[in-house]
Structures are given as structure tokens and as C-alpha cells.
Amino acid sequence: FINVAEEDGSSMENAFWKSQAMFYGNGGSTFKPLARGLDVGGHEMTHGVIEKTANLLYQDESGALNESFADIFGQMIDGDVNDWKIGEDVMQSGGGLPSALRDLSNPHNGQASNSPFYQPNHTSEQYFGSQDNGGVHINSGITNRAFYLFASNAQVGTAKAEQVYYKALRDYLVKSSKFVDCRLAVIQAAQ
């Protein structure tokens, strides 16, 4: 569904998956219409795939894995193997906004740590608060960066990496999986 508005009728600056459909707002001061981003569509569609495979709970680390797998496959669907950014086609410019919503190669995204566009890139920077369902969007940068490092390795490449991550999602992760479980699942899937 496109042209989705907030309950008060204002323009929605979001896109989301719910049950059996994708919903896209028209943006505003931060985003352009969100349906214009192929990686955004791939991200939302992947939430449906996640729901039908590992069904990762949308809370804490399992929720961050949920968001990360959606970012990873959204980026893979976008098609440019040298482009590690998500949402670059939907970002408004200026006002201190980054060029993309998220960057798998650099989760800090060129932003200060208090920016909503900054993500940790390692568990040493992990967020442990209650905001954002325990950091589902915030901490997804940790697994995004791990995928980037794996996929950009010349001996692996994106074609193999996406197959390994899909197998890990489908065959080895469960609703309550955490970051360590994802690491083990990726190793098992790669083997």
C-alpha cells in the first residue's frame, strides 16, 4: 500500500511490513516517498520472509537480527554489489541528514553517536536500553557490518554470502536467537 498517512492524516515518514502487506508513507522532511527505494521494498518484503522462516521476535537482539536480515536482503535485492547503503534513494538532502538511512559497510553512517542514523558496528558499542524495542534498529548495524565483512571478502563474495545468510535464517535461527546464535548459524550454514 502506498500513500499511507499517519492516524492524524499527516504524511508518514516510514515504511513497514504488517501481516501480509507492505505499507509506504510519502515521507516529509527526512524522507522522500519511501516506495521509490528498491532496497526499502526489499527490506519490507524480507520481513515477510523472516516471519515465515525463523520468525525472529521483534525485541532486543532477536529484533536487531530481524532488522539486519531485512537490511541485508534489501541491499542484495538492490543489485549493486558495491553499494552497501540502504535508503539512499529515499533520503532528503541537507539539514545534516546522511546520504542514506543505513550503511552496512559503516554503521556509524558518518554521524555522531547521538544521531538516529548512527548504529553500533560491533558488540562493544551495543545499546542495552529500552528505546526502539531494546534497540532493534539501533543494534542491527552490528550484524549488518558482520555481513559486509563476510560478503566483501574476495573468497566469499555477495552471491555466496547471501546464500549462506539465507540458509542460516531458514535452517538454524529460531524466534529467540541472539547475536551469538547468528554467528554460529552463519558458520554452520557456510560449512
DSSP alpha helices (H): ranges in the chain? 38-52, 60-78, 131-135, 140-151, 157-167, 179-190
Whether 137 sits among the annotated catalytic residues: the reply is yes
Q: Determine phi and psi for 21, rounding to 5 degrees.
A: -150, 160
Whether 108 sits among the annotated catalytic residues: the reply is no
Query: Exactly one of 43, 44, 61, 108 is catalytic; which is it?
Result: 44
Query: Exactly one of 47, 61, 137, 162 is catalytic; which is it?
Result: 137
Amino acid identity at 54: A
CA distance 185 to 188: 5
Active site residues: 44, 137
